[in-house]
Chain A
Amino acid sequence: MIYVGRQAAIPAIAERFASSELLGKVVVPIHKDFRREVYVFLLKDFKGY
């Protein structure tokens, strides 16, 4: 699964999977005080809730 979210770390989600890897951060500057920013993770082998 590819997880996209606003947080740089997702321990509560990552622990539900056998492995998690940060693939990258995407930043779109809009104004000097405003930008869109997401972190993209690869999550493998869902263990269940």
Chain B
Amino acid sequence: MTERSYAPLLAIIAALLTAYRLWVIRHLGIDLYVDEAYYWGWSQALDWGYFSKPPVIAALIAASTALLGNGIIAIKLPSLLIYPATAFALYALGTRLYSTRVGFWAGLAFMSMPLVAALGLFVSTDAPLLLCWSLALLFLLRALEREGWANWLACGTLIGIGLMSKYTMAAFLPSALLLVILDPRHRRWLARPQPWVAVLLAVAILAPNLYWNWTHDFPTFRHTAEITRVGHGERGWHPAQLGEFIGAQWLSFGPLLGVLLGWALLRSRKLWRERAHRTLLIFIVPLLLLVSAQALTGRANGNWAAPIFVASCLLVPAVFLADKRRWVVAGVVVNLVASLAAYHWPDIARATGIELTAKNDPYKRARGWINLADGVAPLLAEHPGTILVGEDREIIAHLVYRLHPAEYAAWNPGRPPATTTRSSPPSPTSAAVT
């Protein structure tokens, strides 16, 4: 008997949710967040690397804006489209590991996650990372169970593109190796060329970025080291940071789904006996432990372990749909209601007489930039041929996005002199005043 396909239903929900998020961006009246303006600047001068991230995000924005212009929606569109695509990758994974029903609820859990609800409003490197992670896992599972090369090469390609999106993708490799080593049926692959060629392919795809870093004094690696405090003598014991990080994971996955995930992880020893559950745990626990250790000894942003949610979205319905279906449904509903409340908070505040302030407006960081740039524009226009200069990267990124100055530079006396032109800009922070 063939299983019922939930793909059309998931497609309808994903399309409605994406259309609604597009509307929400307009309705909220938000501008770009600083990172988005910054990434847009990168997209105007495609290169193999940038100050803080590898190049995929810039390439995605460049493709979107080439088709649709430089409007806010065009810049945010790659993320808006990639998250539903990831939900379908999860559907395929769930179907492969369990059933179409688990795949459907995994896709729904992913689309409804607070992390995706929040990140879905702006373009970020997490979108391509999570898609590449999901598809790489799908092709890895196919590769392990079939002879031939195609799935291994697809897996290696996706790991490479994932690495070019965000270096966190590197955490996929140890989990994949664990999966091969821990399952006796898969160990034969260790003696075959396919997995190793897939790794070489991933490294080959990353190679241009490594070369770019090498020729630019490794800015992306130095930035990564700085934000994790590695090499800056600030390592220590930070239980509060760990608590904050774990809390962020719980909220990122959703209040109720987060409880179910915690419950499943507490039952890891029992779940480990089933092959499909074990596969998912291997793609959750190592990265979660690694970033938790990073949080405990240094600093970890809430989204640094985001790829664990790929397997988590599958594990929760797989474990609980059978005898606690209502909890899974309630978890998704709670997430959707929370997203609605967050998206419509300014409306709710208005309707209930609560005045929006700096303290209660979660969107304040994306407000006022276009008006600010439009206020600066006449002053710039009065002095044609001048270079736009600033030392605040947030201000410069937004002004460059809105005003398209012929030349701009960061005031950064510590850096070697270099101005930036529209035709050949590296990035606002890599330039300094001549």
User: Interface of A with B (CB < 8 Å)?
Assistant: 1-6, 13, 23-24, 26-28, 30-36, 38, 40, 42-43, 46, 49
Cβ of B269 < 8 Å from any Cβ of A? no
User: Interface of B with A (CB < 8 Å)?
Assistant: 355-359, 361, 364, 367-369, 371-372, 375-376, 379-380, 382-383, 386-392, 395-396, 399, 409, 411, 413, 433-434
Name the residue of chain A whose CB is nearest to the CB of B361: A31
Distance (Å) between the CB of A24 and the closest chain B CB? 6
Distance (Å) between the CB of B56 and the closest chain A CB? 30
- B379–A2 CB distance below 8 A: yes
Which of chain A's residues have a CB closer than 8 A to the CB of B411?
3, 13
Q: Assuming A2-B380, A31-B357, is B386 touching A36 (CB within 8 A)?
A: no
Which of chain A's residues have a CB closer than 8 A to the CB of B371?
28, 36
- B379–A5 CB distance below 8 A: no
Distance (Å) between the CB of A30 and the closest chain B CB? 5
11 more contacts with CB within 8 A, not counting A5-B395, A6-B392, are A1-B386, A1-B388, A3-B390, A3-B411, A30-B361, A30-B367, A31-B356, A32-B355, A33-B359, A35-B368, A40-B379
Which of chain B's residues have a CB closer than 8 A to the CB of A30?
361, 364, 367-368
Tell me the bound Cα distance from A25 to B372 in angstroms: 10
Tell me the bound Cα distance from A27 to B117 in angstroms: 31
Tell me the bound Cα distance from A31 to B368 in angstroms: 10
Selected A-B contacts with CB under 8 Å, 8 pairs: A1-B387, A1-B409, A4-B389, A4-B396, A5-B390, A31-B355, A34-B364, A40-B380
- B392–A5 CB distance below 8 A: yes
Highest count of chain B CB atoms <10 Å: which of A23, A35, A36, A46: A36
- B395–A4 CB distance below 8 A: yes
Tell me the bound Cα distance from A31 to B357 in angstroms: 5
Which of chain B's residues have a CB closer than 8 A to the CB of A49?
413
Distance (Å) between the CB of A39 and the closest chain B CB? 10
- B364–A42 CB distance below 8 A: no
Which of chain B's residues have a CB closer than 8 A to the CB of A24?
379
- A36–B372 CB distance below 8 A: yes
- B364–A31 CB distance below 8 A: yes
Tell me the bound Cα distance from A3 to B376 in angstroms: 10
Which of chain B's residues have a CB closer than 8 A to the CB of A38?
372, 376, 395
Which of chain B's residues have a CB closer than 8 A to the CB of A26?
372, 375-376, 379
Name the residue of chain B whose CB is nearest to the CB of A29: B368
- A2–B357 CB distance below 8 A: no
